[in-house]
Chains A and B, each alone.
Chain A
Amino acid sequence: MIFYASVIFLLIILVEIVPFFKEKNKKDGIKASIVLLFAMIPAYLFFSNIKVYSPMYLMYELFMWLGWHYPALG
């Protein structure tokens, strides 16, 4: 999976990130790269079987802990 993900990310970098730098639009290029990192890091962690927690999951745990929720189905 890591191999396929790498190929896809490489393609995305070629298609979307490189043109920014080609046009010397460095600012947007860096911003777009940051967004891509947000996708890449979790992807590699996930495919390496390391647990990643999403913001919504953490919210869920927090709300459950606080007891702010509707009753579960049981």
Chain B
Amino acid sequence: MLKQSRTISKMQMLFSIACFIQASMLLTSFFTPVGGSSSWLAVISSYLVFAVFTIPLIMLIKNFPDKNLFQINAIVFGKVGGKIVSAIYLIFFWTLSSLNTKDIGVFLQQTVMTKTPTYVTIFFLMFLCAWATRKGLSVVTRYASFFFGVSMIIMIFSFIFSYNLMDFSYFLPILDIEPIRFIQTTNVSLNIPLGEIIFFLMIHPEVRDINKNSGKVVYIGSFMGMLNILLVVIHDTAILGEAGKLFTIPTFETLRMISIGDVLSRVEILFAIMLMLLLFFKISFMVYVTTISIAEILEIKDYRRIAFITAALVYISSYIQFNDSYIHAEFGITVAPLIWTFIEFFLPFLTLMIFIVKQKYKKGSEQTA
């Protein structure tokens, strides 16, 4: 039987990155309460910082086009050191997967399925994610462009429909917050949607010709995703202003307000569908990465065989991570930016530096020999 190649194209990776970042639009509520009306500026500045901070990631991809992050760690840090660093990443991947799973559970309970317990809603979602993981990366990423297109259309439409509700004076005065708050917002926005692309370092060996134009793929993909986040932040601030802080899902509230004559109302259901699409993609991708990470660290030959186990792990831990959603939110604003920055940007940077130093040392010793 002819089998399709397991690799994916660069275009698929680009849309996957865009879709992955865009899926975090639900999490804008992490930083909008901090940044207030200046959040949109923080999003832009976070992208600029991201553009610089991503250079080590791209360099790693270019230097190791056929090695995933864990294999790179093993090369750079040695066998034991590599395992320890990889374990840090694994805990990070696992935590993020379960946190996102928890988020979709909470979102569903707040909006669509108010009476159904999250145990049930998430169970089916995790089953689907595990199933998709078993089918392979090409299945997980194939519909990214489709999801991206659909959500972009929905976002633009909702932007247009809610134009009459917008009051741009909410943006004034610009930067009327303490500098530390602005930095904090930038840091949260840098880590939570953008920095999560560290997940892609686990799958880049499966992308065809990734050593060419990898920077372009990462930058364009993340820009497309960021643009959507920015759109959401501007949209929410322009409609709700400072009141946006009061809501857990401000966008949902803004869309609820749309009513064009008697013709068009209850547009928020479109937003709910869009978020479900995006989060489904994001979580299935995260479960996929967690699965291959576990398989890689434990040296299990076929990752597909532990997909359901990983899904169970993520499912259970999504209840255990933070018992209180208030602590979850607090963690996201206060501590997470620091830990995340360490894992998402500092560790890869360290890896790259050690690799470069090792290379130079090797060259030097070769020359002297």
**What residues of chain A have their CB less than 8 Å away from a CB belonging to chain B?**
1, 8-9, 12, 15-17, 19-20, 25, 28, 31-32, 34-36, 38-39, 42-43, 46, 51-57, 59-60, 63-64, 68-73
A31 to B301, CA, bound (A): 11
How many interface residues does chain B have, given as a range? Answer: 35 or more
B11: Cβ under 8 A from any A Cβ: no
A39, B312: Cβ atoms under 8 Å?
yes
* B301 and chain A: residue at smallest CB distance: A28
B311 to chain A, nearest CB (A): 9
**What residues of chain B have their CB less than 8 Å away from a CB belonging to chain A?**
33-34, 91, 95, 99, 119, 123, 180-181, 184, 187, 294, 298-301, 305-310, 312-313, 315-317, 319-323, 327, 330-331, 333-335, 337-339
* 27 residue pairs bridging A and B, Cβ less than 8 Å apart: A1-B119, A12-B309, A15-B308, A16-B305, A16-B307, A16-B309, A17-B309, A25-B301, A28-B305, A31-B300, A32-B305, A32-B309, A35-B294, A39-B316, A46-B316, A54-B320, A55-B91, A55-B95, A60-B331, A68-B335, A68-B338, A69-B335, A70-B184, A70-B187, A71-B334, A72-B334, A73-B34
Contacts of A20 in B (CB 8 A): 305
A46 to B264, CA, bound (A): 45
Main secondary structure of the interface of A (DSSP, over half): helix
Instruction: For A54, give its contact among B317, B335, B337 (CB under 8 Å).
Output: B317
* B291 and chain A: residue at smallest CB distance: A35
B95, A56: Cβ atoms under 8 Å?
yes
| Additional pairs, 18, CB under 8 Å, beyond known A16-B309, A42-B317, A59-B335 | A8-B312, A15-B308, A17-B309, A19-B305, A28-B300, A28-B301, A36-B309, A36-B312, A38-B313, A39-B309, A39-B317, A42-B320, A51-B323, A69-B338, A70-B180, A70-B187, A70-B333, A71-B180
Contacts of B310 in A (CB 8 A): 35
A-B contact count (CB 8 A): 107
B339, A63: Cβ atoms under 8 Å?
yes
A25 to chain B, nearest CB (A): 8
Instruction: For A43, give its contact among B99, B181, B316 (CB under 8 Å).
Output: B316
A16, B306: Cβ atoms under 8 Å?
yes
A38 to chain B, nearest CB (A): 6
* B302 and chain A: residue at smallest CB distance: A28
B34, A60: Cβ atoms under 8 Å?
no
A32 to B333, CA, bound (A): 35
B101 to chain A, nearest CB (A): 13
B313, A35: Cβ atoms under 8 Å?
yes
B338 to chain A, nearest CB (A): 6
B226 to chain A, nearest CB (A): 22
Instruction: For A57, give its contact among B181, B315, B319, B322 (CB under 8 Å).
Output: B322
B339, A9: Cβ atoms under 8 Å?
no
Contacts of A46 in B (CB 8 A): 316, 319-320
A69 to B34, CA, bound (A): 14
Contacts of A31 in B (CB 8 A): 298-300
A71, B338: Cβ atoms under 8 Å?
no
A35, B333: Cβ atoms under 8 Å?
no
Contacts of A56 in B (CB 8 A): 95, 99, 321-322, 331
Contacts of B300 in A (CB 8 A): 28, 31-32
